[in-house]
Amino acid sequence: MNVLQRLFRRRSPPSREIAKERLKLILVYDRVKISPDLLQTLKDEIISVISEYIEIDREATEVTLQPGKKYSRLVANIPIIGTRRRDE
């Protein structure tokens, strides 16, 4: 960068990167065509099944769609509190 360019250099991060990430995420949801209702149902059932085997933090559990190189991904992020054996 020359002197003048450095004087007028931007202070905030460029918005292009923000736009790119937002766009990728928006398209994942658009393309997969999973309705918010279906996503909620998936989340509830995943929580329900996992809870039979492990104690988890239901409120902090997240089930989201993520962009990926080859496939979009359904990602379940589940905090584990303790373990609970099934027959107790």
Partner 1 sequence: MPARVITITSGKGGVGKTIATANLGVSLAMLGQRVVVIDADIGLRNLDVVMGLEHRIVYDIVDVVEGRCRLRQALIKDKRLPDLYLLPAAQTKDKTAVSLEDMVRLCDQMRDDFDFVLIDSPAGIERGFRNAIVGADEALIITTPDIPAVRDADRIIGLIESEGKRLVRLIINRINPRIVKRGDMLDIKDVVEVLAIELIGIIPEDEAIIISTNKGIPIALEGRSQASLAFHNIAHRLLGEDVPFMALQARGFTERLGRFAGFLRRAG
Binding site for partner 1 (CB under 8 A): 2, 4-5, 8, 10, 14-17, 19-20, 22-24, 26-27, 30-31
CB of 24 to partner 1, least distance (A): 6
CA distances to 22, 40, 44, 45, 70 from 66, in Å: 11, 16, 19, 19, 11
Distance from the first to the final alpha carbon of the chain: 68
CB of 29 to partner 1, least distance (A): 10
- Return the structure tokens found at 60: 């902090």
If the CB atoms of residues 8 and 52 are measured against partner 1, the closer one turns out to be 8
If the CB atoms of residues 28 and 56 are measured against partner 1, the closer one turns out to be 28
